[in-house]
Amino acid sequence: MIPSEFDYRAPESVEEAVRELHENGDEAKLLAGGHSLLPLMKMRLAVPTLLVDLRRVPGLHSVQRENGTVKVGALTTHATVAATPELGLAAKAAATIADVQVRNRGTIGGSLAHGDPASDLPAVLVALEGSVTAHGPSGPREIAAADLFEDYLETALAPDEVLTEVRIPAADGWSFGYQKFNRRSEDWAMVAVAVAVKSSGGVAEDVRIAMVNMGGRPLRAAAAEGALRGQSIDQATVAAAAALAAEGTDPPADLNASADYKRHLAQVLTKRALAEAGGL
């Protein structure tokens, strides 16, 4: 329960943080809210010899709308995301994360960089087709959500890159549903489903469905999306689409649920999330 020894630095710019990471290689880890990293360190599943704390780096806390995009600084807490209605689906999902303490410390950048498929915000970013900005030794680059999450706790971020900003398309004209199933309130999702629907005159013009904890990374339910796109949103079309939600998935069984049970949950939660988004 006690982490192994480590050095600590708190740089005052993104460039300085990148330099610390670059010079110290795999031995160095960024620290944001610490709510994923510190438990791993206490269990000695992560043994960094240097923690590079982002808390003094300016400019990573703001939420700003620019044209059709909401730009969210990497250190924005889950509590702030949850309290920002402009963030639509991300706000809904962030409100379901753990408890007040975790939401007050945990950050959107830390959650996305950690790449845990059981986390809520990665699936939201995938559903909304957002992106992140990563700063490395050769400057910034943008990574689309579809390319960011590679496998369990693996992302496209290089060890010497700092995720600085999350870009979420503005919610105008979209409605959302977020349904999460856990054994006890405030637990991680056994499965969760994030839905975004753009409709006109009761017809679904566009549908996005992304699933939490159904594989090594957040997965889109492409067959279910295709079944509802262009259809009237009613109980029958929603049920028919939701029945396809688990198609092509091979979720790992865990202590809480077998793979079959997770596939069943994906269908049930997709139906509920579509109904929520469609106002049914």
Task: Enumerate binding residues for ligand FAD (CB under 6 A).
Answer: 29-37, 39, 54, 74, 78, 97-98, 102, 106-107, 109-111, 113-114, 119-121, 157, 162-163, 188
**In the complex, least distance from residue 41 CB atom to ligand FAD, rounded to whole angstroms:** 9
Nearer to ligand FAD, 47 or 222 (CB): 47
Angle at Cα 30 formed by Cα 144 and Cα 48, nearest 5°? 125
Q: Which of 106, 102, 104, 108 is nearest to 132 (CA)?
A: 108
**In the complex, least distance from residue 7 CB atom to ligand FAD, rounded to whole angstroms:** 15
Dihedral of the alpha carbons of 235, 236, 242, 244, in degrees to the nearest 10: 180
Nearer to ligand FAD, 105 or 198 (CB): 105
Structure tokens at 29: 């880890």
Nearer to ligand FAD, 12 or 234 (CB): 12
* CA atoms of 149 and 130, how far apart (whole Å): 12
Nearer to ligand FAD, 29 or 272 (CB): 29
**In the complex, least distance from residue 15 CB atom to ligand FAD, rounded to whole angstroms:** 14
**In the complex, least distance from residue 203 CB atom to ligand FAD, rounded to whole angstroms:** 33
* CA atoms of 226 and 220, how far apart (whole Å): 11
Nearer to ligand FAD, 78 or 92 (CB): 78
- Measure Cα distances from 52 to 49, 59, 122, 206, 247 in Å: 10, 17, 23, 41, 41
**In the complex, least distance from residue 102 CB atom to ligand FAD, rounded to whole angstroms:** 5
